Structure 1
Amino acid sequence: MTSTSYTVPAAEIFKAYDIRGIVDRTLTADAVRAIGHALGSEAVARRQRAIAVGRDGRLSGPELAGALSDGIRAAGVDVVDIGCVPTPLTYFAAYQLGTDSCVSVTGSHNPPDYNGLKMVLGGQTLYGPLIQDLRRRIADNDLVHGAGQLRQENVIGAYLERIVSDVKLARPMKIVVDCGNGVAGAVAPELFRRLGCEIVELFCEVDGTFPNHHPDPSKPENLQDVIRALKETDAELGLAFDGDGDRLGVVTKDGEIIFPDRQLMLFAADVLSRVPGGEIIYDVKCTRNLAGWVRQNGGKPTMWQTGHALVKAKLKETGAPLAGEMSGHVFFKERWFGFDDGLYAGARLLEILSRHADPSAVLKGLPDAVSTPELNIKMAEGEPFELVRRLKDTARFDGATEVITLDGVRVEYADGFGLARPSNTTPVVVLRFEADNEAAIARIQGAFRSSIDQVWPGLKLPF
């Protein structure tokens, strides 16, 4: 076959866990075609014959998915086009269709002018150096050539059937479902109806301009429509999904947001009832109440680095039945495949809560603490890593019971914790604080304020 040479795509779109950029600026159809060819070449090296390709509901999706498919097939690898589906269905397709490899063309929860690629080859999620290596292949023209085939498949029916045949609700429930006009709207209403729910639908029409609110349930402002609908109807619970359907937001009848680390407690207790002694993995941003809760329910708690690809890799390595992140990615290996899936997490949540007359009371009864949302210090590219390195090397936290440097600096006290870690996706330092009361949280924030001021004077802090 003739050799093809491509313009090397901008380095900034090759992120830690995925490829992401602004459509027609940093992420062009030509760039995606080149990445597809590099990905296909890597697939050949791994003896992968076919890749399933799905896309979310963004307006740029069809063109970019087409360019990606062209690039993959130019390496001699077949493409199975599964159309416009949530990212978890793309992961599911890799199992269902036996390709073991898949790409979701998605901008996740980013603004409408973004798009990107989440990639799995031979069952391994690509992240870090593996993503950088795709850019190297393009730069070095280290590409193989062939003529892969293209075919279409629909996996939505098989996905729904797989969940509905296994997840059983003890009674019908009435719920609010807010898809924020993201691609989850193509599947979620049907899934929850088939599980026996009556649904109050909010923004379930897939619309890549996101005309109502941003599809990111980790931000309380995006859950206000759910809170309002719970007040105005007799629905007993609210579920919200992010732009590509791999994260779940949960709201009680009276409008309390149950953050993902508390959702994980409920899932852990349920899973451990069937997998005694099981390991439960959670990221460094999660509540310190999790470890005690997991032990109390007979499990082994494991704190790990933040990042869906890193958590997925740890899940695979340990054989743990369950993992979760503060951002809302939940990974069930027990009864499922181990990938992050907001729709499936929603189904499992309803299975547990349907056994109770008052689901909100169950959720509100989970251990809680005074905590901050994620706080960000904006810095220049590279600076967040340097700031956290200086904290690790020189900061002294008086009265701390433990300093954990697994991912950033997490300082544990008898009555709370503080965390500073560099984001792997944007140039910010992510901070989070939790404590038994407001006085303790203020004291811990004070300790971080003075430590940061010592290693990097003059920074404007968000607390």
Structure 2
Amino acid sequence: MQIDSSIFKAYDIRGVVDKTLTVEATRAIGQALGALAKQNNVDTLCVGRDGRLSGPKLSQALMDGITDMGINVKSIGMTPTPVLYFATFLTGTGSGIAVTGSHNPPEYNGLKMMMAKDTLYGEGIQALRTQIGKGLEASPVKGKIEEIDVITPYLDKITSDVKLARRIKVAIDCGNGVTGPIAMELFKRLGCDITPLFTEIDGHFPNHHPDPSKPANLATLIETVKSTDVELGLAFDGDGDRLGVVTKSGQIIYPDRQIMLFAADILQHNPGAPIIYDVKCTRRLVPWIKEHGGVPTICRTGHSLVKAKLKETQAPFAGEMSGHLFFNDQRWPGFDDGLYAGARILEILSRTDNPSAVLEALPTAVNTPELHIEMAEGENKRFVEKLQKELRFDDATDVITIDGIRVEWEDGFALARSSNTTPVVVLRLEGDTEEALERIKKRFGDAIKAVDPSVVLPF
């Protein structure tokens, strides 16, 4: 069967429904996953879906494909992606697929996949495409589909472990994603007074896009937190694996500063442990983690890559700038979960009378948002490789090339890396002061222009 190769991305499978990602393609992918399960001696896969309109038909096609190969399915229905990850631990399969478009526009959908306790990414995803191209032979005995409730044990697990020191007033913005009902139930049971925003699941996303990494999507939450008696605001992305946080003054606490709060808390119980962060995070993390008795450990960007690093190092916590936060301490089994991260942040902040003051006191710097240089498909990777080879910075304190090129100075950093999901070069720059940032912009921009004068810089 011929399938549009563009849907096989670095970290997931994703495409436009009925165009690049069809029902037939999804069934074929299910068959390839069933064959892979057999190779790994896995006899059952968990399957869940988010709130997108195409979710029911695509998840059914996926399950049909899996059972074609004689593999059983535990269907958990419409749930956030982290609940699917939890299901793989609960059932002991270590394997499952979330049918989700994550934070992409409504016409998209896709698959996030785990097999034998490992996240499928990169070559693992390309191997599925190869397998489909070769053809697959169905099993003479079809697998069975069993519907199970995972939401109840998921909520019970969190509420039996996370304890708030006092009631806390919080606004929760779910952006009409799949987290709405479960977020309301979770935070009510934890002892929160909730002001709900867009908690009804609606695959059209009529109010704003469910992506808390973009400030525009937090506008209503910011206004609500500033104008009512709530103490802070939490926002979740479309499938619930990322967290956004807003303070009483309307300040967005970006994930690299959230990492600081979590690292300080976790290192109290895990002294000397590594804390993982990705290359896009603030350099202020390094002294903070050291001061709190941890080992700062930088990692390539991408939730699948962070999970692999987490498994390799057995770190108790990891986070990345996009909002994926991974708790791998004795309390939680190492997957990214925005809802659980929201519960843990409230647990920490409920110990104080002024949560916003605690958050706003976390070290910060002057930085750019994520900036993009758009390029032709594949050109971004070649360009970044050229930068790695040709750029020289004699005035830098460090040059890190694990993922693009990150140049560190005494008072800031500049990053250029190739996106693994779109044909762009991703830039992020930071300075301790406005003056430092402007100097670093000029220094880094001039260096890029020296390599290719035709590049149009976004700063």
**TM-score when normalising by structure 1:** 0.98
Instruction: Quote the residue 1:130 is aligned against.
Output: 124
Once the two structures are superposed, residues 414-454 of structure 1 have per-residue CA deviations (whole angstroms, 9 ceiling, x without a partner) of: 11000000000000000000111111111111122122212
Matched residue type, 1:292: P
Instruction: Quote the residue 1:262 is aligned against.
Output: 257
Alignment partners' CA distance in 2, 1:420 and 1:89 = 34
> SS of the residue aligned with 1:17?
coil
**Contact persistence 1:126–1:309 (CA under 8 A):** yes
**Contact persistence 1:291–1:301 (CA under 8 A):** yes
Once the two structures are superposed, residues 143-199 of structure 1 have per-residue CA deviations (whole angstroms, 9 ceiling, x without a partner) of: 552411011011111000000000000000010000000001131011000000010
**Contact persistence 2:375–2:423 (CA under 8 A):** yes
Instruction: Quote the residue 1:433 is aligned against.
Output: 429
**Contact persistence 1:421–1:430 (CA under 8 A):** yes
Identify the match of residue 228 of structure 1 among 223, 229, 232. Answer: 223
Once the two structures are overlaid, the 10-residue window that deviates more, 225-234 or 406-415, is 225-234
Instruction: Quote the residue 1:282 is aligned against.
Output: 277
Matched residue type, 2:90: Q
Identify the match of residue 147 of structure 2 among 149, 152, 156. Answer: 152
1:46 aligns with 2:40: yes
1:243 aligns with 2:231: no
**Contact persistence 1:397–1:447 (CA under 8 A):** no
Matched residue type, 2:344: R
Alignment partners' CA distance in 2, 1:451 and 1:68 = 48
Once the two structures are superposed, residues 245-264 of structure 1 have per-residue CA deviations (whole angstroms, 9 ceiling, x without a partner) of: 00000000110000000000
Instruction: Quote the residue 2:69 is aligned against.
Output: 75
Matched residue type, 1:61: G
Q: Give the ranges of 4+ consecutive aligned residues of structure 1 lying more than 4 Å apart after TM superposition.
A: none
Instruction: Quote the residue 1:10 is aligned against.
Output: 4
**Contact persistence 1:137–1:143 (CA under 8 A):** no
Alignment partners' CA distance in 2, 1:363 and 1:203 = 25
**Contact persistence 2:241–2:337 (CA under 8 A):** yes
Alignment partners' CA distance in 2, 1:356 and 1:122 = 41
Instruction: Quote the residue 1:87 is aligned against.
Output: 81
The alpha carbon displacement at 1:96 in A equals 1.1
**Contact persistence 2:31–2:136 (CA under 8 A):** no
> SS of the residue aligned with 1:235?
coil
Alignment partners' CA distance in 2, 1:186 and 1:52 = 21
Q: For 1:62-461, what aligned pairs fall within 5 Å after superposition?
A: 62-143=56-137, 145=139, 146-334=141-329, 335-461=331-457
The alpha carbon displacement at 1:291 in A equals 1.0
The alpha carbon displacement at 1:389 in A equals 0.8
Amino-acid identity (%)? 61
Alignment partners' CA distance in 1, 2:448 and 2:69 = 49
> SS of the residue aligned with 1:194?
helix
Alignment partners' CA distance in 2, 1:176 and 1:236 = 8
Matched residue type, 2:47: V
Matched residue type, 1:155: V
Once the two structures are overlaid, the 10-residue window that deviates more, 255-264 or 231-240, is 231-240
Q: 1:143 to 1:274 in 2, by over 3 A?
A: farther
Matched residue type, 2:34: G
**Contact persistence 2:50–2:177 (CA under 8 A):** yes
Alignment partners' CA distance in 2, 1:385 and 1:30 = 32
Alignment partners' CA distance in 1, 2:393 and 2:136 = 49
Once the two structures are overlaid, the 10-residue window that deviates more, 328-337 or 440-449, is 440-449
The alpha carbon displacement at 1:126 in A equals 0.1
Once the two structures are overlaid, the 10-residue window that deviates more, 58-67 or 228-237, is 228-237
> SS of the residue aligned with 2:233?
strand
Once the two structures are superposed, residues 187-229 of structure 1 have per-residue CA deviations (whole angstroms, 9 ceiling, x without a partner) of: 1011000000010000000000000000000000000111111
> SS of the residue aligned with 1:183?
coil
The alpha carbon displacement at 1:396 in A equals 1.8
Alignment partners' CA distance in 1, 2:199 and 2:453 = 47
**TM-score when normalising by structure 2:** 0.99
Alignment partners' CA distance in 2, 1:422 and 1:65 = 31
**Contact persistence 1:78–1:149 (CA under 8 A):** yes
Alignment partners' CA distance in 2, 1:388 and 1:439 = 27
Residue ranges of structure 2 left out of the alignment (5+ in a row): none
Alignment partners' CA distance in 2, 1:317 and 1:402 = 24
The alpha carbon displacement at 1:232 in A equals 2.2
Alignment partners' CA distance in 2, 1:445 and 1:230 = 34
> SS of the residue aligned with 2:268?
helix
Alignment partners' CA distance in 1, 2:408 and 2:221 = 34
> SS of the residue aligned with 2:396?
coil
Matched residue type, 1:386: R
Alignment partners' CA distance in 2, 1:343 and 1:301 = 25
Once the two structures are superposed, residues 23-62 of structure 1 have per-residue CA deviations (whole angstroms, 9 ceiling, x without a partner) of: 0110000000000000100000000010010000000000
> SS of the residue aligned with 2:194?
strand
The alpha carbon displacement at 1:142 in A equals 4.5
Once the two structures are overlaid, the 10-residue window that deviates more, 134-143 or 182-191, is 134-143
Alignment partners' CA distance in 2, 1:417 and 1:332 = 27
Matched residue type, 1:153: I
Q: 1:252 to 1:144 in 2, by over 3 A?
A: same
Alignment partners' CA distance in 1, 2:328 and 2:24 = 37
